Amino acid sequence: MSENKPSDLRVSGSLSFKMAGEDFLGLNRIELLEKIDQLGSITKAGKAQGISYKTAWEQVDALNNLAEQPLVKRSAGGRGGGGTSLTDAGQEVVRRYRAIQAEHERFLAALGEHLDEGEKFYQFLRKVNMKVSARNLWTGEVVKLSRGSINTLVELKLKGDDTLTAQVTNESVEALELTPGREVFAMVKAPAIIIVKELGQARLSSCNILKGRICRITEGQVNCEVSLELPGGSTISATITKGKDALPLAEGDEAWAVFQESSIILGVV
């Protein structure tokens, strides 16, 4: 699954969306998977797709987070410098996508034969495919609702038993029809997350303190993006301002991602 959502996606707060245009149900991401499979390198695959290394990893993270099993895996370095390849689950996703795409094209062709405005309807179908702007996106199952007078704490179980706690209004609980066992989307913007290396030295009131290992650091002129891989296989990314007081971070380090429960936006379809 990609981060694309149908037009009836309901969310618990304001979040910006953009239309995916020609990207039918995540075609660009499927093509990226195919390039990774062909080239064995996410750097080469990104160049072949005309996107940056950072953007390629963002798309791979979204796919891995939303899929039940990782679709892309990295091999260790060495003389060859390591590489990137599809898992069996990733290859199966590509195969099934192409089968669905073929059926979709046949459906549209048949529809166009019977509707005078078939092309306009086709364009409408393209427009309802949307992307969210939040860097972090997961699917989870509601396991507990703790209702207060105004807000409700929603405990979510991600894959691999990692958990998140979101705070939404009681009205949002009703509007989204949240109940234990329901699958939801959870979204958090990267600037809302901080990275901590030593919990003993920090005074934290956040409900969400997730332990992981740094799997990637993307450097920028002012900020850097740090991605942690959680024990269950999900990835969480934070944007950190660089400066003299910045934490010394390196790939492979153990760290914690910390963010407020109010920073999470929930969505259902």
**Structural domain boundaries in the chain:** 21-128, 136-268
| pLDDT at residue 18 in the model | 39
Tally Cβ neighbours within 10 Å of residue 234. 25
The predicted pLDDT at position 1 comes to 39
Low-confidence stretches of the chain (pLDDT beneath 50): 1-7, 14-22, 78-81, 127-128
pLDDT of residue 136: 92
Per-residue model confidence (pLDDT) at position 5: 40
- H or E element: which one contains 32? helix 27-39
What rounded mean pLDDT belongs to the chain? 81
Residue 78, pLDDT score: 42
Angstrom distance (rounded) from CA 236 to CA 144: 22
Provide CB contacts within 8 A for 54, sequence distance 6+. 218, 225
**pLDDT tens-digit series, residues 40-57:** 999 999 999 999 988 899
CA distances from 79 to 37, 72, 73, 83, 251 (A): 20, 21, 18, 11, 19
Predicted pLDDT at 99 = 87
Q: Give the pLDDT score at 20.
A: 37
Task: Match domain 136-268 to its CATH number in 3.40.1830.10, 2.40.50.100, 3.30.70.260, 3.40.50.1100.
Answer: 2.40.50.100
CATH number for the domain whose boundaries are 21-128: 1.10.10.10
Rounded to the nearest 10°, the torsion over CA 128, 71, 53, 62 is 40
> Measured between alpha carbons, how far is 34 from 242 in angstroms, rounded to an integer?
35
